[in-house]
Amino acid sequence: MLIKQISIFIPNKKGSLSQLTDILIAHSIDIRAIAVFDTTEFGILRIVVDDPDRAVEILNKEGIVAKVSKVIAVEPEDKPGSLNQIFSILRDSDINIEYIYSFIMRKKEMPYIVLKVDQQEKAVEVLTANGINVINKEEIYAKESL
């Protein structure tokens, strides 16, 4: 139930993102989710793509250092308090959320929430046991979800 996320340090200057996406486009890699966290000199780009292993290989060949980590994607219900429910389940299970961002898969109405937590497998277990829809990697990587 864990999905692969790619983290890349990129310079915080004009054109950095387009240079990176140019490479991905040239190799038909589709970005499913993207988040950038910046500082004055560089940004940390986090992406979920349809073929993470190939993307890392391509980026490394282009001289871009890319690190793979595992994250959880969940689909909260469309009602007030659904995020609080997820956060409370993790808190009550003594699981720390390191960061979070959201994205929408095409042809879906609700956003998926990406969570990086300190105990990934335990988090999947407790979220699933509490009725939270944890998204599997096949759904994220599937070409037909376009």
In 50-142 the beta strands, taken as DSSP E runs, fall at 66-75, 97-103, 112-117, 133-134
Q: Where are the domains of the chain?
A: 3-69, 71-145
CATH of domain 71-145: 3.30.70.260
Q: Which residue has the tokens 């959201």?
A: 102
In degrees, rounded to 5, the angle at the alpha carbon of residue 46 between the alpha carbons of residues 69 and 128 is 55
CATH of domain 3-69: 3.30.2130.10
* Cα distances (angstroms) measured from residue 24 to each of 19, 62, 101: 9, 11, 21
Q: How many CB atoms lie within 10 A of CB 72?
A: 26
pLDDT, tens digit (0-9, with 9 covering 90-100), for 85-110: 999 999 999 999 999 988 876 556 66
pLDDT, tens digit (0-9, with 9 covering 90-100), for 4-33: 999 999 988 889 899 999 999 999 999 988
Calculate what percentage of the chain has a pLDDT beyond 90.
61
pLDDT, tens digit (0-9, with 9 covering 90-100), for 27-47: 999 998 899 887 778 889 999
Is 127:85 a contact under the CB 8 Å cutoff?
Answer: no
- Mean pLDDT value of segment 128-138: 90
SS3 label, residue 19 = helix
Query: Which amino acid, residue 8?
Result: I
> At a CB cut-off of 8 Å and minimum separation 6, what does 53 contact?
4, 68
pLDDT, tens digit (0-9, with 9 covering 90-100), for 58-80: 999 999 999 999 999 999 988 89
Is 1:28 a contact under the CB 8 Å cutoff?
Answer: no
